Structure 1
Amino acid sequence: MAKHGFTAARKMKIAYAVLGTAVAAAALGPQAANAETASAAGQHSSTVKSTKNPVDHAAQRSRADESKIQVTADQVLSMARSQVGTSENAAGGGTPYQRWYADSKRAAETIARDGGTPAGYLNAPWCSMFVSWVGEKTGARPQIGWDAWTVAHAKWFKNNDRFGTVAKPGAVVFFSWSGSKDLDAINHVGFVEKDNQDGTISTIEGNTGNGKVEERVRPKSQVVGYGYPEYAS
């Protein structure tokens, strides 16, 4: 879509499709305003609200610890960069990232946490699904994590002591368009390509305002923090 804003009707549709009726009302609180702000800035929010804590932190950390880490930051960025230009359809879906996530084991886990059905992910905001897909395709999923909800994805890094404030190539960067540093205010996620040393970072992101995977330059003032995957040297 050329313009991918979050109208109230679309917010309601996604909330009910992905989260289910029981928690949809909780999803339509203050973050709806943040999403409209993101739309005005030409950026689509990827926050899917949950009333529960992220699950399976210990299991995912165990897998990360037990895995022999072979994937480098350059390999992850190369895979992400290879997807630049991939676009959603007019309904906000149709990407390989949404289809992969809907069919994944993780979808069943996040449905247990948030409610909804696998089909609900097919047209849902997909920036966190894009990051997760890159991890899957490079073999770095245990280090990058996987989730459809940006807040849960950030908290997974935080709970595994891999969250901070320094931009590093290959880091997973979490944004809040309001400038908040609260993890619960996160709207969007992508990968850091580099720190430009001028108050901005260069990124690769899925589900941007143009409904595509794009390379962007972002002000650090919009960054909540960074997740640090454990990469090979």
Structure 2
Amino acid sequence: MSDVQTIIKIAKNEVGYREGKSGGHWNNSQKFSPAVPGLEWSQNQAWCATFVSWCALNAGLSDLYPRTASCATGVSWFKQRGRWSAYPAIGAQIFFGPNGGTHTGLVYDYDDTFVYTVEGNTNGDGSAEGDGVYLKKRERRSSYVYGYGYPRFSAGIVSADPAYKGKDDESNKPTSNIVALSAGVKPGGRHAQVRELQQLLIKAGFGPIKGAVTDLYGPETQRAVARFHDANPRYRSVGVAHDPKIGPTGFVALQKLAGRR
């Protein structure tokens, strides 16, 4: 699951959550402020920005979103990093009202007319008193929408902004063909990925491997792996000369040597 999918899933899982009540009114007492280090003080205050900070924290993405209870501070945080746009993007933080200081939420989708969000400290009836976490449908060109902060996702961001097309758009980024090494690939054993290992060794110039291609990590394959390690000693096991066992980082390096990207 990608970073953007993770934070959206976490945010959506909170839809239906309601804050506390006292004296017949919603009171802004909620679970998010006490759970975000540094924002404990914001309990019983407007918590839309705190909700986004909580989602980022639980997604392991705290460095990609501002940790703040203030919408205005959130706007400044993104602008200072050059991650601001007038166009929606998947996973972006949306800001509302004059200078973006009124309200905020997370974008989970958009189309030509609407932007679809998860928002905390809002409501379902359009009143001014927020009470919980809701899915919202907003008009993209509404004067209430101030703009969007773009997290710097490692895979890029899917955006409606023409300036991001082909630059920071995960839909335009090539998919890597590099694969991880299975734990079952061991000298003396059999595993389907041994065939791939043998092919990569031969293509990278560490063959020949008599009897290849087969799923057996036999003596011939071990000797080929040792040749790879002799030429690239940083990938061999510490203290092992002519190391016959391929490791995870070595397998990645071997793929690149064989021309895989």
- TM-score, normalised with respect to structure 2: 0.52
Q: How many residues align?
A: 143
- Give matches, 1:1-233, under 5 Å: 72-91=3-22, 92-101=27-36, 104=37, 106-107=38-39, 119=41, 121-176=42-97, 180=98, 182-183=99-100, 186-198=101-113, 200-209=114-123, 210-220=130-140, 221=142, 222-233=144-155
Separation in structure 2 between the aligned mates of residue 148 and residue 159 of structure 1, nearest angstrom: 18
Is the radius of gyration larger for structure 1 or structure 2? 2
Instruction: Compute the RMSD of aligned alpha carbons.
Output: 1.7
How far is the alpha carbon of 1:232 from its aligned partner?
Answer: 3.0
Deviation at 1:127, TM superposition (A): 0.3
Query: Shift of the alpha carbon at 1:100?
Result: 1.8
- Given that residues 73 and 232 in structure 1 are in contact (C-alpha distance below 8 angstroms), is that contact kept between their aligned partners in structure 2? no
CA offset at residue 90 of structure 1?
1.0
Is contact 2:28-2:131 (8 Å) kept?
no
Question: What secondary structure does 2:136 align onto?
Answer: strand
Q: Deviations over 1:57-86 (max 9, x none)?
A: xxxxxxxxxxxxx95211110110011111
SS of structure 2 residue aligned to 1:148: coil
Paired residue for 2:218? none
Q: Whose relative contact order is higher, 1 or 2, with alpha carbons under 8 Å and at least 6 apart?
A: 1
Looking at structure 2, the residues matched to 196 and 208 of structure 1 have their Cα atoms a distance apart, in angstroms, of 22
Q: Given that residues 85 and 212 in structure 1 are in contact (C-alpha distance below 8 angstroms), is that contact kept between their aligned partners in structure 2?
A: yes
User: Partners of 1:171 and 1:157 in 2: how far apart?
Assistant: 10
Q: Deviations over 1:19-60 (max 9, x none)?
A: xxxxxxxxxxxxxxxxxxxxxxxxxxxxxxxxxxxxxxxxxx
TM-score normalised by length of structure 1: 0.58
Show structure 1 runs of 5+ residues with no match.
Answer: 1-69, 108-117
Q: Structure 2 stretches of 5 or more lacking a match?
A: 124-129, 156-261
Q: As a proportion of its length, which structure holds more helix?
A: 1
Aligned to 1:22: none
